[in-house]
């Protein structure tokens, strides 16, 4: 048996899917997170049942890819039962989709979700009356708290064994005669679910008109005989109006409100601050800074920077740094620890201790000087150590982001950013895939297919790598230690993420300048109520990230590490054996050739500049390989001290900027090719290539000015900001003139 979950975005459908199947699907709070259907298995009935999680939709009209996917699956695949997940806190809006599903000849059951929230607010829902009016089974549940799920599945299992003929709430309306005659014509042709197709033909549904052109002509003749009304013959609007009027008249009394119920909910009160026209973006920046501070700072709450706190106890230092206390061999004194590390750094220290101990263990019983000892210890284990030691920080970062998503806050961020991004040619809906880019660019680019406008879709895919993915987090964590003073690590990482967003906005402005007649499509989004994140969902999300990382590390990254080890230990005449000096290796010769290309960017300068060049190129395979390569080439020993010794802050920033804006990994490039239009993809490649080079160059040159004179550096930054503001003004002025000319 197969059951399909259908419902509006943010109705708790995917949470229900995860609760029923134990799946690790990511639970988001925005439309489009489930781009394609996902399948799991429910095992608590007499037989196993496949559960298909369909994209969240508001109707079965083909306006978006999500609606097409859901509609085609329900009509063509014919699931044994449709479980319509309805948000009980917003009943009337959710029932609009229900009235369309009822028109299909398929068993249906209503899962009245979020009943815990309804009861908490003091309201009541008369589910028996609702069941009687809809003529289908209604089961009260709370997917978040696993309440009523067994009852739901048992009822769905019984419904699946019965045949059901669809009916429409419109059959007794003023267009009932048109519906009946159209349904009969379709029935004579052997069309399944004729009632559903009849209503869609009356709505001028494009898919139905193409499928039944002859019947559509007859439908138009029938409609022309009907008297005109305030909608002036617009039957799509007429049908929508009749549905909502029916829902309002029949079901408004089903919800009994509490006398004590406030006009403004808790979510409404919180949103007065969190979505404020002025304070919303600063609050978002503060929240993200706190997240980065808790993950990357080596001076928690700036206790050392502000209050001069130092830890002198060797036991406490070993505990906080993963057995990293430094003892002077001559005096026996322990070097004080400046401040307390953040939770992310604390976990990273102990992971580094664990992986380092594993390497020492292998070295203890493997013979020195052999090629296989070098491959395993200096190559494979050292490379994996450099990546896995940062894994706790990556997972902690994802945990905080998951909390923000699951609580409903990230949906607000999309709403907030819609106001800002619309001026630059992108809507809040485009910001949703970009936010997903903080996790991984591949699903983020795939999520861009939910954007109806081709130009906006291409622009979004082009900007996605600018939102630093999780694979780049080890790079920032490694560089954070090396950047001028450990207390600046969190500020450095925060600035990298903000730099990506700022450059994405500037790039959007530039792209819009070449499309002066383009305007971002309207964006409508329902904001879910704030709620406490579900522990099970958070852990499922983290497990999915960990599993993906381990699989990637055991395949692509491992293969790349072995290749890099071979190239760095053998010369072109590799049959002569391993080279004694890395400068004579194949990798060195390749790196020294690349060095001249990257030389103007600063970080490729110096004797070891070729090593940074090679590391940046290996990131094309997987961004984690940047760190793995640097570890094998001896660039990140002693917790980043090698980088700090070889490079100034301006070079470190330039290196970070290049790796942020350059080509993403091969998997993301392939995804961009498949999701972009044919003309846009070559432009996207050139955009990434030249954009990363120019930005890295600008960052390096501005950094040099700061190192020479802070005042001069600030002046140059102000000039750049001034040029951007001027560009915005000229763009707005040109668009205003174009709009006036168009309306003239």
Q: Which pLDDT band holds residue 487 (cuts at 50, 70, 90)?
A: low
Residue-wise pLDDT for 514-537, tens only, equals 665 556 555 666 677 787 887 877
Contacts of residue 62, Cβ cutoff 8 Å, sequence gap at least 6:
68, 71, 205, 206, 207
Q: Is the pLDDT of residue 262 over 80?
A: no
Residue 214 to residue 600: CA distance in whole angstroms: 67
Q: Which pLDDT band holds residue 32 (cuts at 50, 70, 90)?
A: very low
Indicate the average pLDDT of the chain: 83
Q: Which overall architecture, per CATH, does domain 2-160 show?
A: 3-Layer(aba) Sandwich (3.40)
Q: Is the pLDDT of residue 439 over 80?
A: no
- Long-range CB contact pairs, 135-141, < 8 A, 24+: 135/102, 135/167, 136/102, 136/108, 136/109, 136/110, 137/109, 137/110, 138/109, 138/110, 138/112, 139/109, 139/110, 139/111, 139/112, 140/88, 140/112, 140/115, 141/16, 141/111, 141/112, 141/113, 141/115
Q: Is the pLDDT of residue 486 over 60?
A: no
What is the pLDDT, as a whole number, of residue 482? 76
Write out the H or E segment, with its range, that includes residue 38: strand 38-42
DSSP string, 523-543: ---PPPPP-PPPHHHHHHHHH
Residue among 291, 295, 300, 393 nearest 340 (CA): 300
Q: Look at the alpha carbons of 262, 266, 270, 271 in this order and tell me if their dihedral is positive or negative.
A: negative
Q: Tell me the average pLDDT across 474-485.
A: 77
What is the pLDDT, as a whole number, of residue 255? 82
- φ, ψ dihedrals at 277, nearest 5°: -60, -30
Boundaries of every domain in the chain: 2-160, 176-256, 302-340
pLDDT, greater one: 28 or 172: 172
**Could you tell me if residue 638 is left (phi over 0), alpha (psi between -120 and 50 degrees) or otherwise beta?**
left
Q: Is the pLDDT of residue 235 over 70?
A: yes
Q: Which pLDDT band holds residue 30 (cuts at 50, 70, 90)?
A: very low
C-alpha triplet 152, 157, 162: angle, nearest 5°: 125
Q: Which pLDDT band holds residue 739 (cuts at 50, 70, 90)?
A: low
Q: For the ranges 79-93, 361-375, 688-702, which has the lowest average pLDDT? A: 361-375
What is the pLDDT, as a whole number, of residue 453? 75
**Do residues 550 and 542 lie in contact, with contact meaning Cβ atoms separated by under 8 Å?**
no
**Do residues 627 and 472 lie in contact, with contact meaning Cβ atoms separated by under 8 Å?**
no
Q: Is the pLDDT of residue 238 over 60?
A: yes
Contacts of residue 100, Cβ cutoff 8 Å, sequence gap at least 6:
59, 60, 196, 199, 243
Residue 283 to residue 274: CA distance in whole angstroms: 7
What is the pLDDT, as a whole number, of residue 598? 93
DSSP 557: I
DSSP string, 7-30: E-TTSSHHHHHHHHH---PPP-SS
Q: Is the pLDDT of residue 273 over 70?
A: yes
Q: Is the pLDDT of residue 705 over 60?
A: yes
Contacts of residue 522, Cβ cutoff 8 Å, sequence gap at least 6:
427
Q: Is 385 helix (H, G, I), strand (E, B) or coil?
A: helix
What is the pLDDT, as a whole number, of residue 641? 58
What is the pLDDT, as a whole number, of residue 462? 92
Kindly state the tokens that stand for 196: 């559903």
**Do residues 90 and 527 lie in contact, with contact meaning Cβ atoms separated by under 8 Å?**
no
What is the pLDDT, as a whole number, of residue 466? 93
Q: Which overall architecture, per CATH, does domain 176-256 show?
A: Orthogonal Bundle (1.10)
Q: Which pLDDT band holds residue 740 (cuts at 50, 70, 90)?
A: low
Q: Tell me the average pLDDT across 307-322.
A: 90
Contacts of residue 233, Cβ cutoff 8 Å, sequence gap at least 6:
223
Kindly state the tokens that stand for 696: 């890295």
Cβ neighbour number for residue 560 with a 10 Å cutoff: 20
Write out the H or E segment, with its range, that includes residue 506: helix 489-513
Q: Which residue in this structure is represented by tokens 């995860």?
A: 18
HEC states along 665-719?
CHHHHHHHHHHCCCCHHHHHHHHHHHHHHHHHHHHHHHHHHHHHCHHHHHHHHHH
Residue-wise pLDDT for 355-368, tens only, equals 989 988 998 889 88
Q: Is 609 helix (H, G, I), strand (E, B) or coil?
A: helix
What is the pLDDT, as a whole number, of residue 34? 43
Residue 1 to residue 51: CA distance in whole angstroms: 9
Residue-wise pLDDT for 605-651, tens only, equals 888 889 999 999 888 888 888 888 888 887 765 445 566 556 678 88
DSSP string, 75-95: III--SEEEEEEEGGGHHHHH
Residue among 112, 113, 160, 168 nearest 135 (CA): 168
What is the pLDDT, as a whole number, of residue 232? 65
- pTM for the whole structure: 0.73
**Do residues 5 and 16 lie in contact, with contact meaning Cβ atoms separated by under 8 Å?**
yes
DSSP string, 39-52: EEEE-SSSS-EEEE
Residue ranges of alpha helices (H) inside 322-408 are 343-365, 371-373, 382-388, 391-406
Residue-wise pLDDT for 545-591, tens only, equals 788 778 877 787 788 888 888 988 899 988 788 888 888 899 999 99
**Do residues 88 and 125 lie in contact, with contact meaning Cβ atoms separated by under 8 Å?**
yes
Residue 238 to residue 170: CA distance in whole angstroms: 11
């Amino acid at each position: 048996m197969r059951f399909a979950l259908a419902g509006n975005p943010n109705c708790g459908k995917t949470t229900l899917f995860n609760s029923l199947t134990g799946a690790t699907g990511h639970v988001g709070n925005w439309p489009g997170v489930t781009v394609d259907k996902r399948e799991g298995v429910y095992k608590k009935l007499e037989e196993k049942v496949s559960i298909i999680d369909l994209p969240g939709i508001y109707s079965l009209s083909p306006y978006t890819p999500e609606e097409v996917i859901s509609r085609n699956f329900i009509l063509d695949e014919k699931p044994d039962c449709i479980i319509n997940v309805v948000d009980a806190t917003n009943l009337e809006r959710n029932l609009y989709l229900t009235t369309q599903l009822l028109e299909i000849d398929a068993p249906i059951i209503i899962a009245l979700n979020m009943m815990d929230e309804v009861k908490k607010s003091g309201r009541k829902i008369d589910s028996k009356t609702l069941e009687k009016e809809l003529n289908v089974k209604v089961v009260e549940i709370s997917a978040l708290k696993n309440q009523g799920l067994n009852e739901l599945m048992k009822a769905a299992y019984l419904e699946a064994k019965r045949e059901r003929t669809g009916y429409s709430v419109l059959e007794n309306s003023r267009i009932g005669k048109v519906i009946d005659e159209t349904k009969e014509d379709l029935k004579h042709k052997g069309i399944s679910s004729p009632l559903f197709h009849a209503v869609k033909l009356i709505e001028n549904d494009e898919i139905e008109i193409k499928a039944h052109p002859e019947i559509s002509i007859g439908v138009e003749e029938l409609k022309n005989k009907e008297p005109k009304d305030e909608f002036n013959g617009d039957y799509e609007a007429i049908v929508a109006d009749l549905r909502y009027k029916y829902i309002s008249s029949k079901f408004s009394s089903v919800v009994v409100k509490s006398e004590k119920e406030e006009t403004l909910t808790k979510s409404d009160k919180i949103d007065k601050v969190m979505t404020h026209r002025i304070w919303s973006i600063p609050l978002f920046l503060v929240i993200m800074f706190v997240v980065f501070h808790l993950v990357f700072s080596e001076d928690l709450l700036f206790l050392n920077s502000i209050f001069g706190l130092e830890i002198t106890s060797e036991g406490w230092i070993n505990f906080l740094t993963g057995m990293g206390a430094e003892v002077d061999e001559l005096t026996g004194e322990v070097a004080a620890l400046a401040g307390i590390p953040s939770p992310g750094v604390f976990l990273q220290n102990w992971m580094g201790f664990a992986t380092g101990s594993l390497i020492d263990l292998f070295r203890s019983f493997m013979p020195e000087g052999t090629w296989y000892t070098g491959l395993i210890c200096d190559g494979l284990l050292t490379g994996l150590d450099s990546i896995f030691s940062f894994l706790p920080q990556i997972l902690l970062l994802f945990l905080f982001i998951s909390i923000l998503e699951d609580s409903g806050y990230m949906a607000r961020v999309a709403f907030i950013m819609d106001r800002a991004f619309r001026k630059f040619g992108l809507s809040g809906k485009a910001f949703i895939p970009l936010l997903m880019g903080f996790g991984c660019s591949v699903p983020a680019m795939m999520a861009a297919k939910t954007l109806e406008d081709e130009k906006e879709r291409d622009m979004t895919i082009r900007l996605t790598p600018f939102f630093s993915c999780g694979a780049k987090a080890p790079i920032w964590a490694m560089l954070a230690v090396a950047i001028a003073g450990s207390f600046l690590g969190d500020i450095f990482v925060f600035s990298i993420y903000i730099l990506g967003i700022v450059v994405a906005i500037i790039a959007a402005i530039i792209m819009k300048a070449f499309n002066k007649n383009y305007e971002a499509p309207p964006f409508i989004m329902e904001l879910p109520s704030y709620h406490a994140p579900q522990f099970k969902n958070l852990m499922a999300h983290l497990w999915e990230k960990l599993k993906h990382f381990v699989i990637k590390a055991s395949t692509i990254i491992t293969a790349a590490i072995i290749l890099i080890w071979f190239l760095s230990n053998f010369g072109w005449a590799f049959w002569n054996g391993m080279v004694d000096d890395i400068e004579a290796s194949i990798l060195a010769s390749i790196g020294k050739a690349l060095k001249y290309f990257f030389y103007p960017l600063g970080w490729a300068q110096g004797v070891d500049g070729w090593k940074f060049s090679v590391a940046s190129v290996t990131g094309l395979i997987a961004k984690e390989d940047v760190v793995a390569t640097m570890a094998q080439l001896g660039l990140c020993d002693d917790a980043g001290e090698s980088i700090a010794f070889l490079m100034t802050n301006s070079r470190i920033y330039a290196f970070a900027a290049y790796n942020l804006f350059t080509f993403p990994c091969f998997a993301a490039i392939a995804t961009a090719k498949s999701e972009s239009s044919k003309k846009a993809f070559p432009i996207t490649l050139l955009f990434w290539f030249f954009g990363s080079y120019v930005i890295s160059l600008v960052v390096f040159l501005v950094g040099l000015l700061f190192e020479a004179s802070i005042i001069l550096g600030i002046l140059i930054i102000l000039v750049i900001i001034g040029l951007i503001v001027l560009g915005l003004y000229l763009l707005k002025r040109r668009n205003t003139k174009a709009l006036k000319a168009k309306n003239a």
